[in-house]
């Protein structure tokens, strides 16, 4: 079975460093929104979101990724910075009161949101735009000296359904080229190299079948010299594949087994972190995938 080498890194966050490469780390998703594609409305109140976040930590999430604005396909940015903060900050503060050592990431493309949430105790900024949609984001992350997840996104959310297709043999070169450009821009703005993690952006401007070449060739991202985060959990391309079985796209809550297959493939390709909704099931899947990587039972 081919298994890609996975280089080791020390990921420098705001107040600590995390070792990457020895085992796969789980990033648990906490959407504090009424309209996210996978679980919109389930955790929209502070109490619901805090309960969910603590449960993910109990299930061994290594990092919590808190988001206060949906980025589902077809949407336009509508949430103000203040509304985003009103959703996210009370949840983060409550979680940190209960679990002082919790590592929290803020899923935002707004520099003002990033600044406020990092000041309140977050360690990481996870920017789906690759630091592009807010011209102040790169310099803000450099100033805050936090961890940064830099994602590849093609176009804006409202453009994804109408973008021209990418030939399958051009998907990986495109992502490699643009992630190289965006990481170079981040470094030029003063973000430390040790603080950067790259995310190829499954589903973000890639239509259904365009995601599979990216998953198959994920190991090629190692040539860029950064840790890799893979976020395939419950994505639409998995639901479209399951239509071959059921005759219709599987909804997000029926994509669990497909998610486990995709994250296993990502780990074997050398992903350092996987972003998931169902931490308990993912923990079991990555334990087996890591055992395969290590060539021994754990």
Angle at 289 between CA 288 and CA 295, to 5 degrees: 90
3-state secondary structure of 88: helix
CA–chain centroid gap for 280, Å, is: 17
| CA 26 – CA 63 distance, rounded (Å) | 6
The tokens describing 33, both together, are 């929104």
In terms of Cα–Cα distance, which of 19, 8, 86, 9 is closest to 49?
A: 86
CA within 13 Å, CB half, 206: 28
Torsion of CA 124, 128, 132, 133, to 10 degrees: -110
**Residues 62, 173: Cα–Cα separation, whole Å:** 31
- Identify the three-state secondary structure at position 247: coil
Q: How far apart are CA 298 and CA 295, in angstroms?
A: 9
Position of tokens 């460093």? Answer: 17
The one catalytic residue among 23, 182, 275, 293: 275
| Active site annotation includes 110 | no
Determine the Cα–Cα distance for residues 109 and 132; give it in Å rounded to an integer: 8
Cα angle 9, 275, 8 (rounded to 5 degrees) comes to 10
Catalytic residue chosen out of the listed positions 206, 235, 255, 293: 235
Instruction: Locate 127 and state its tokens.
Output: 């920017």
Provide the annotated active-site residues.
235, 275
């Amino acid at each position: 079975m081919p298994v890609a080498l996975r280089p080791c890194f020390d990921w420098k966050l705001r107040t600590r460093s995390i070792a990457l490469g020895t085992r796969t780390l789980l990033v648990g998703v906490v959407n504090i929104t009424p309209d996210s594609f996978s679980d919109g409305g389930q955790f929209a109140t502070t109490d619901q979101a805090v309960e969910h976040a603590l449960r993910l930590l109990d299930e061994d999430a290594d990092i919590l990724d808190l988001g206060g604005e949906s980025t589902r396909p077809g949407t336009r940015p509508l949430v103000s910075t203040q509304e985003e903060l009103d959703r996210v900050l009370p949840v983060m503060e409550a979680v940190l009161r209960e679990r002082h050592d919790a590592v929290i990431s803020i899923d935002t493309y707004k520099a003002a949101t990033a600044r406020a949430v990092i000041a309140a105790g977050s360690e990481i900024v996870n920017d789906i735009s690759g630091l592009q949609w807010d011209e102040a984001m790169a310099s803000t992350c450099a100033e805050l000296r936090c961890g940064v997840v830099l994602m590849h996104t093609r176009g804006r959310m409202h453009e994804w359904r109408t973008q021209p297709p990418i030939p399958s043999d051009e998907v990986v070169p495109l992502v490699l080229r643009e992630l190289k450009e965006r990481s170079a821009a981040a470094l030029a703005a003063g973000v430390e190299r040790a603080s950067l993690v790259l995310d190829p952006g499954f589903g973000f401007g890639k239509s259904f079948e365009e995601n599979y070449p990216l998953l198959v060739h994920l190991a090629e991202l190692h040539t860029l010299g950064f840790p890799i985060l893979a976020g395939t959990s419950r994505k639409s391309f998995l639901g479209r594949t399951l239509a071959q079985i059921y005759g219709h796209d599987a909804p997000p809550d029926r994509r669990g087994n497909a998610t486990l297959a995709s994250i296993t493939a990502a780990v074997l390709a050398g992903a350092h972190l996987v972003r998931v909704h169902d931490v308990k099931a993912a923990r079991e899947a990555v334990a087996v995938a890591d055992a395969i990587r290590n060539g021994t039972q754990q």
